A and B are shown apart, each in its own frame.
Chain A
């Protein structure tokens, strides 16, 4: 059972507190994404788990054994943790197979060769066994880095923004590959990223890290649909914030009375966060809204509308998106999250 358990982990560099009490539990064979903006302390967290730095407070347990505390830090080479750095960081003086086999020091040469071949097959790079790392494309290098980390069957794999150096199309494809490979190997993993789409599409659970603390943990749908505060709501995807007041169990706003998703108290004043896809636009010559801008993406479009003095950004079915200058009526579909002030 390779569970990872962080309790009250803090880390300061001089006077600057980067992590201020992180609690996180990762189940066996689970993929958890730690989502945070740059400077939120994501990389510091990974370095603590890997054993490169010592926490200023708290403990880290791996598979039930304490590996980091304020007094004692198990050296990285004894932790049985695999890491996949941002830019792959392959050993430039070794071939692809030598890179993958690097961590298999105690293995017989037969087992080693078999394991390397198995991984080359899984990452679909059998033809590159003897290639030098500088002959690989960015995506290939990243797959080798993953294979290298997985080879010794580590208790947990840590991935630090592994896709950020790749172009958009490759990124999407590689994400699916990586997920399949991790599942195939039954690996427990932590993915650190600032890309909400990446976190939501890959992870079993997402932990949102903000100014050194984990502010919400949950499944991707939970996190996306029920962000616990406005900050997370806007961070996870663009949302329009509109003032509202609770009356008769509903939130009354300029765009009508909306159904709240969360618990509300009568008379509360606050704001609702409405995502682009929750807006419904109907072309209507008598509508109160006017389209002032449109960005077309093909499969969908973002339409900017001014209505009742509010500026909203709605996602609309690409080919049928209303065009600039058109009059529209605006509805809100489904329920919304209400955040009292």
Chain B
């Protein structure tokens, strides 16, 4: 076993500590004040929140599954016209942060709120995950097996139920769990649409009183629910990601006159998920353009970009170190560190933010309310994404090249910098860009931890909605879609792959 360079070890171990310490501290503090925390949790209100959260998660999971599956089947398996265009439209909501979508609706219909509103917006925002996962699975089923089933006595619908669905189920399950995690951690859209779930209650409890025990106790419950879902999601992730099988042969089903119904349905979903919110924001932006404070907008844009750049670079560096350590050296500690940094994957940003508030205020006051605290929060939230993006290009560098380099007299550590990193560089940069774009869209942790003088597009948008000044919020929302949402979708390799496979 080769020994990793000390630099990698330092970066890797600190990444793991960042990931674990604040959450651990939150739990610890709660146990100190156990009686009070318990009293908080045993109120009827907790039960109500629990009921609302579970209701929303379940409802959105089911509807996103149905919608995403229908979109995937129609675009890959039926002869519906303009399938490629509808596929792009089905993935497009990924470019719109869900709170932006919610803003688009609430600014036209001020009474659009509560369960139904949250359910609708989150279904539209999350169905692309199901769409992409199911599409990838559908195009890998050889339709010959479905035709064989027809000759063995199954009708068209029975084939869908007994042959197609069982083969898509693992991917669909993984996607639905992803949707469930998304809804569990969603804060912005639900808060805008005024539906009481854990994330909104935690934020309000924190903002509304100086006693933070209540917020922390609720955060712990949300943490536990999330961990349960994550545990399920882990079991299916492999199936979801490992689609290496060759594409199957595909025969498209002739919909006949139903083709028009299908097209109308797909178009309607696109209008509701993308058309209405974007149009609404455009109209508000134009209407409010006279009173637009350009200095404020530019200040927020700079605040966002600055944070995104710093975080992208810092997180990229840490992710590269952990990936190098875990993938190229495979020492026990390296793999352990990778697992630990993964562990924070999909934790609700409200929980992470709150944990850092506690940790920062009590243990590290010297960085509390500085940019660095925010960067650490982003690192806990997005290091797993960065690792996923950066591990692959690093793992793909052939080991032979390292051997050759060393045989030519270049020591192992320098080989890393002269051979491995330069080859993996484009992939690493893509990972950094992806993290930076995700940071641009982040709302709850930014709200909780930002230094008072720092403003971003997301926080300005939020501030305007709190004053019900939708026309002021609209340009910020549009700018977010343009500079963060669309580029992130374009960089999303899963989306690109699935969309390119729809044809054929």
Contacts and interface: CB of A to CB of B under 8 A. Distances in A.
Interface stretch (B14-22, B61-69, B141-149): B141-149
Nearest to B158: A77
A173 to B, nearest CB: 24
A275 interface: no
Interface residues of B, number: 16
Most B CB atoms within 10 A — which of A51, A76, A102?
A76
Interface in A121-152: 145, 148-149, 152
B145 A91 contact: yes
A81 B154 CA distance: 12
B167 interface: yes
B387 to A, nearest CB: 30
Nearest to A160: B144
B167 A77 contact: no
B155 A148 contact: no
Interface in B65-84: none
B151 A76 contact: yes
Most A CB atoms within 10 A — which of B151, B153, B163, B166?
B151
B140 to A, nearest CB: 10
A83 B149 contact: no
A244 interface: no
B408 interface: no
Given A91-B163, A93-B166, A152 B153 contact: yes
A187 B136 CA distance: 39
Nearest to B140: A92
B152 A103 contact: yes
Given A77-B155, A87-B142, A52 B149 contact: no
A80 B202 CA distance: 63
Nearest to A151: B152
A86 interface: yes
Given A91-B163, A92-B167, A77 B152 contact: yes
Given A52-B251, A89-B142, A83 B151 contact: yes
A102 B153 CA distance: 9
Given A52-B251, A92-B167, A93-B166, A82 B142 contact: no
Interface in B121-160: 142, 144-145, 147-155
Contact of A77 (B142, B145, B150, B163): B150
A152 B152 contact: yes
A105 interface: yes
Contacts of A92: 145, 167
A85 interface: yes
A324 interface: no
A89 B149 CA distance: 10
Contacts of B151: 50-51, 76-77, 79, 81-83, 103, 149, 154
Interface string A32-68: 0000000000000000001110000000000000000
Contacts of A91: 145, 148-149, 163
A90 B248 CA distance: 12
Contacts of B251: 52
A86 B152 contact: no
Interface string B7-19: 0000000000000
A75 interface: yes
B144 A102 contact: no
Nearest to A85: B144
A145 B150 CA distance: 14
A45 to B, nearest CB: 15
A105 B144 contact: no
Contacts of B144: 85-87, 89
Contacts of B150: 50-52, 75-77
A53 to B, nearest CB: 9
Contacts of A50: 147, 150-151
Most A CB atoms within 10 A — which of B142, B152, B163, B166?
B152
B147 to A, nearest CB: 6
A85 B147 contact: yes
B136 to A, nearest CB: 15
B77 to A, nearest CB: 14
A93 B155 contact: no
Contacts of B166: 93
Contacts of A154: 151
Contacts of B145: 85, 89-92
Contacts of B148: 83, 85, 89, 91, 145, 148-149
A230 B144 CA distance: 36
Given A52-B251, A91-B163, A92-B167, A105 B153 contact: yes
The 6 closest A-B pairs by CB, nearest first: A103-B152, A89-B144, A76-B150, A85-B144, A89-B145, A93-B166
23 contacts: A52-B251, A75-B150, A75-B155, A76-B147, A77-B152, A77-B153, A77-B154, A79-B151, A82-B151, A82-B152, A85-B147, A85-B148, A87-B144, A89-B147, A90-B145, A91-B149, A91-B163, A92-B145, A93-B166, A93-B167, A103-B153, A105-B153, A145-B148
Given A51-B151, A75-B155, A93-B167, 15 more contacts: A50-B147, A50-B150, A51-B150, A52-B150, A52-B251, A83-B147, A85-B147, A87-B142, A89-B144, A91-B148, A91-B149, A103-B152, A105-B153, A149-B151, A154-B151
Interface of B: 142, 144-145, 147-155, 163, 166-167, 251
Interface of A: 50-52, 75-77, 79, 81-83, 85-87, 89-93, 102-103, 105, 145, 148-149, 152, 154
